[in-house]
Amino acid sequence: MLVAGNWKSHKSFNEAMEFANAMSGMSPAPEGVEVMVAPPAPYLAALAQAGWPCRLGAQNVSATGPGAQTGEYTADMLAGCGVHDVIVGHSERRDGHGDTDAVVADKVKQVLEAGLRVVFCCGESLQDRQTGVHFDKVLRQLESGILHLPMDVMDRVVVAYEPIWAIGTGLTASSEQAQEMHAAIRGWIRQAFDAATASAIPLLYGGSCKPDNADELFACPDVDGGLIGGAALEPDSFRAIIDAAGRSVAAAVDGHQG
């Protein structure tokens, strides 16, 4: 299980340090649960140097290498600052910040070439779902961003399914809706690669995942964790979601033993 926090454009630098201190003071994440938080980019190097308490994520990256690109930062720069994971293709960047499928595919390439792990976001709008094209939409995003990659980078790819209508709205996909889409995504990955790759790839759910619905979502067989926005801003609610992931791991272990 992977529990990943996406702070978006929230928190001052001091608040980010306070969060790190609070998390450092907590007991380690449960066995089998990996934790990542993606703070705003200007803080990344300093947070890494101060001893960030989990994997350090970035929320964005340049689609190209170094050059005359005012305001951009490359994947190599992020790697040099101590970043492990980069979120690419978030709907808030696809919608309004120019991240078309082609740009997203270039960003994925840059992240992987820098040796980092990519958290590739996909998801449909409410209109897509209401008109029944949600599977087509997500498949198209995956085809352009992920499914053509060489097999040997797939251990550095995480997919986050985030229905746009559930992000920051308080509306969550039901566990049935999440499971159905996650199973489809795993099936497409199996077809494009193989069964081992499909079963190993972490598939995160994102969109109003909170302490009170995390257990139900994480109990779905094809949900391997969450990409958490609002509920990742406070150490206690984020920790409650990490603990829910721990319960899901423990239940899976019990299931195998039983």
Active site residues: 90, 162
Count Cβ atoms below 10 Å from residue 196 Cβ, excluding itself: 11
201 within 8 A of 156, measured Cβ to Cβ = no
Examine residue 123 and tell whether it contacts ligand PGA (CB under 6 A). Answer: no
Asked if 207 interacts with ligand PGA (CB under 6 A), we say yes
Q: Which range binds ligand PGA by CB under 6 A, 55-63, 150-158, 185-193, 206-214? A: 206-214
Q: Tell me which residue of 204, 118, 140 sits closest to 166, measured CA to CA.
A: 204
Near ligand PGA by CB under 6 A, which window of 72-80, 185-193, 202-210, 248-256?
202-210
CA distance 173 to 183: 14
Residue 36 forms beta bridges with which residues? 4, 55
| Minimum distance, C-beta of residue 6 to ligand PGA, in the bound complex (Å) | 4
Measured from the CB atom, the residue of 113 and 216 that comes closer to ligand PGA is: 216
Instruction: Indicate whether 213 belongs to the interface with ligand PGA (CB under 6 A).
Output: no
Cα separations in angstroms, 72 against 10, 60, 158: 20, 10, 23
Q: Is the dihedral of CA 206, 210, 212, 214 positive or negative?
A: positive
230 binds ligand PGA per the rule CB under 6 A? yes
Exactly one of 28, 32, 115, 168 binds ligand PGA (CB under 6 A); which one? Answer: 168
**If DSSP codes are grouped into helix, strand and coil, which group holds residue 113?**
helix
- Nearer of residues 118 and 198 to ligand PGA, judged by Cβ: 118
The Cα–Cα gap between 128 and 41 comes to: 31
Provide, rounded to whole angstroms, the least separation between the CB of residue 230 and ligand PGA. 4
Please tell me the distance from the alpha carbon of residue 29 to that of residue 171, in angstroms, as a whole number. Answer: 27
229 binds ligand PGA (CB under 6 A): yes
Q: Which stretch binds ligand PGA (CB under 6 A): 25-33, 44-52, 191-199, 225-233?
A: 225-233
Choosing from 59, 208, 213, 248, the residue that interacts with ligand PGA (CB under 6 A) is 208
Nearest 5°: phi and psi at 104? -60, -40
| Residue 27 DSSP class | P
Binding footprint of ligand PGA, residue count (CB under 6 A): 13
Interface region with ligand PGA, contact rule CB under 6 A, candidates 42-50, 54-62, 207-215, 238-246? 207-215
For 140-153, the DSSP string reads HHHHHHTTTS-GGG
138-157 residues near ligand PGA, rule: CB under 6 A? none
Q: Is 173 in the site for ligand PGA (CB under 6 A)?
A: no
Number of other residues whose CB lies within 10 A of the CB of residue 248: 23
227 binds ligand PGA (CB under 6 A): yes
Residues that bind ligand PGA in the complex, under the rule CB under 6 A? 6, 162, 167-168, 206-209, 227-231
